[in-house]
């Protein structure tokens, strides 16, 4: 049982390592927003537009730090496949625990935590890269 679990954990661990090593997108440079127009409605519209421009301005990123859309899709695809594998392993361990009375609670909880973490990272990355498109 332990050898089988080790054989299952090794590819998942290697896949997680690959996902963690992939290059990410750096934070965009923040430009100061004027605080003099904060009192009026048009001033708040301008400041909210300025904030949105900071996140939508892909052209302002240095060319060596820019990630192409195709590469972003590849990264999200790898994250999604890894997430599906983690969910499948978590479900398999849960079924083994309930249906076959196996003592795999700790690995089940570890994989559940990894699944939740990767799901949150996948959602945050996709929102950051492709919002509002």
Summarize pLDDT for 4-43 with one digit per residue, the tens. Answer: 666 667 667 666 666 666 665 443 333 444 444 445 556 6
Stretch 50-73: mean pLDDT, rounded? 74
**Domain enclosing residue 37, as ranges:** 9-20+27-130
Mean pLDDT of 73-102: 94
Q: Assess if residue 58 is contained within a domain.
A: yes
Query: What pLDDT sits at residue 130?
Result: 86
What SS3 state is found at 89? helix
Number of domains making up the chain: 1
Question: Does residue 97 lie within any of the structural domains?
Answer: yes
Structure tokens at 37: 């127009």
Average pLDDT over residues 49-62: 66
Residue 75 has pLDDT above 80, yes or no: yes
Residue 4 lies in a domain: no
Does 95 reside within a domain? yes
């Amino acid at each position: 049982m332990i050898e089988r679990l080790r054989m299952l954990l090794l590819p998942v661990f290697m896949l997680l390592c690959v996902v963690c090593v992939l290059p990410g997108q750096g934070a965009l440079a923040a430009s100061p927003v004027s605080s003099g127009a904060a009192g009026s409605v048009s001033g708040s519209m301008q400041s909210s537009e300025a904030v949105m421009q900071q996140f939508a301005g892909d052209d302002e990123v240095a060319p060596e730090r820019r990630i192409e859309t195709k590469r972003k899709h590849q990264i999200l695809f790898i994250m999604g496949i890894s997430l599906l594998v983690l969910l499948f392993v978590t479900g398999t361990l849960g079924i083994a625990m309930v249906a076959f009375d196996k003592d795999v609670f700790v690995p089940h909880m570890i994989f559940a935590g990894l699944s939740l973490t990767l799901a949150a990272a996948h959602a945050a990355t996709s929102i950051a890269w492709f919002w509002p498109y």
